[in-house]
Structure 1
Amino acid sequence: MIKDHIEWIFFDLGETLIDESAPISDSIRQFTEQAELLGYKYRSEQVQAALQEAYRHYAEHPMWSVMEAWIPSEEHRAKIKKGMTYHKHMERPFPSSLALLQTLSRRYRIGIIANQGPGTPTRLEAYGFSPYISVCCASAEAGMAKPDPQFFLMALDQAQCRPEHAVMIGDRLDNDVIPAKRLGMSAIWVRQGDARFQPLPARSEAPDAICDSIEQIAALFT
């Protein structure tokens, strides 16, 4: 079982502990509005379906992949991007996130490995997460990002933890599960958000456990 050899639990943030559905829906709205100003007419439902398809193909940045497929003009793509703003203040922790961290931190050390913009420590403090987190590696501050294995190794080094004694929990197979497994970590895939449409990888890189929501995670460690 996963819990038998684990000392550290590392979490992703977006669509794992943090609900990004509101700002993502807002970004889709912004895209359709900006595109229409340039003569491209798309419905939000079309964009949502295209994003899910982009995730199925392991697109690194699904929104930009959709934009490149639908907007042939590089100049127009640049204008659309310039007119879009990701509203991070719309993000909210999933209702059970704080309780999960409280529960797990009684027995395990908790870390964060996340692709995030500047200010992650401040946001974690605002969410009430900070008292339960011993290591926080966020891409903006670290100068590297997932799935770069060096990013994971940085977190493991800060934790003074061997890969086989750590588990990575995240919503993306490409950014969270696969790179962790390649390093010898355990991995749990949380099928939340559009990344739930990603196809499972080869068995050697497959998650050790799959959860449909973070509410199911605590049971894996009890």
Structure 2
Amino acid sequence: MHRAADAPARLLLLAARRGADRRPGGRGEARGRGQPCHGKPGAADRARRKRGPCAVQRGEAGRPRAAALREPHRRAGAHLVISWVVFDVGGVLVDEARLIRGWADVLELTEEAFTQKLREGIAAEKGIGGTIRELAPHVDIKAHRARLNGLEIPAEADLYPDVRAGIASLRQAGFRVGIAGNQPPGVAEALEALSLGADFVATSAQWGVSKPEPGFFAEVLKATGAAPAEIAYVGDRLDNDVEPARAAGLHPVFIARGLWGEVHDPRVQGCTRVGALTEIGLRLRG
């Protein structure tokens, strides 16, 4: 008698339990992706823990969010990217017209006549010294060079017009900037005093080694602390800049200006070429 009377109550209790199972969070609800199952982490939780707190945040379609891309000069798929741009000095940052006029005076030639002789000497791979010796065998080049060294100390008026804007644009684009060239004592200090915005300034006189020697570019690597493929070296000469920089593993950039740039321009192949320093950032990013 008591069991028969209790049957309806047991049926009501069973129905109430089934209803609770179907409520959100109950045992009867279908689990979504990544939702905990009986206290164990889902797939999404495990993936999140595996990535850790330093994982790059991603937006739609798995693309990195813009905040994670800090350096616009990085190229997709590249293992090493160019992060440094290092400049030569003469013919790149500094117009050497004052020095050429000084030597023209020594040789008692007009600036135009001496400039033409220099073009011919550069094309014949005689260089400045060889050209002067050919023009005036009696001239003591070493003695006059010591006297004319002061003409190689750059002032604001000796800078090419695009120098400050070119360096500023590179820094704004995220590149670091260096200056390193074959120069006599005093040039590095003069360039530092001009406050061009470079991270370092160095010369062959300070390093004790000159281009095109491999040791010069080894010093460039030390000064930047970067791998060769991360450095672009900007120069106006094929023999002193483009070829030895490439041999050292750097990315050569040729600028066609000054006497050397003018003569070597038709022979330069297989490297980035620019007509102005303000073009470099765009060319390296492309």
Q: TM-score, normalised to structure 1's length?
A: 0.79
Distance 1:143 1:79, change over 3 A: closer
Deviations 1:175-199 (A, max 9, x none): 1111001111111111111002025
Q: Partner residue of 2:275?
A: 212
Distance in 2, Cα, partners of 1:29 & 1:194: 18
Distance in 2, Cα, partners of 1:214 & 1:30: 33
Distance in 2, Cα, partners of 1:215 & 1:123: 23
- Where does structure 1 lack aligned partners over 5 or more consecutive residues? 33-41
Whichever structure has more strand as a proportion of its residues is 1
Q: Partner residue of 2:30?
A: none
Is 1:177–1:207's contact at 8 Å kept on the other side of the alignment? no
Q: Partner residue of 1:167?
A: 232
Structure 2 residue identity aligned to 1:171: D
- Residues 45-194 of structure 1: matches in 2 within 5 Å? 45-59=112-126, 62-72=127-137, 76-78=138-140, 81-82=143-144, 85-86=148-149, 87-89=151-153, 91=155, 92-106=158-172, 107-129=174-196, 132-194=197-259
Distance 1:23 1:213, change over 3 A: same
**SS at structure 2 position matched to 1:77:** coil
Distance in 2, Cα, partners of 1:44 & 1:135: 34
Deviations 1:105-136 (A, max 9, x none): 2311111220111123321232221xx32233
Distance in 2, Cα, partners of 1:28 & 1:213: 28
Q: Partner residue of 2:51?
A: none
Distance 1:57 1:216, change over 3 A: farther
Q: Using CA pairs below 8 Å that are at least 6 residues apart, which structure has the higher relative contact order?
A: 1
Is 1:117–1:139's contact at 8 Å kept on the other side of the alignment? yes
TM superposition outliers: structure 1 runs of 4+ over 6 Å: none
Distance 1:89 1:148, change over 3 A: closer
The count of aligned residue pairs is 201
Paired residue for 2:267, among 177, 200, 207? 200
Is 1:31–1:80's contact at 8 Å kept on the other side of the alignment? no
Distance in 2, Cα, partners of 1:183 & 1:210: 19
Query: Shift in Å at residue 3 of structure 1?
Result: 6.3
Is 2:231–2:251's contact at 8 Å kept on the other side of the alignment? yes
Paired residue for 1:27, among 77, 82, 103? 103
Mean alpha-carbon deviation: is it higher for 207-216 or for 134-143? 207-216
Is 2:119–2:259's contact at 8 Å kept on the other side of the alignment? yes
Is 2:129–2:141's contact at 8 Å kept on the other side of the alignment? no
- Where does structure 2 lack aligned partners over 5 or more consecutive residues? 1-72, 76-80
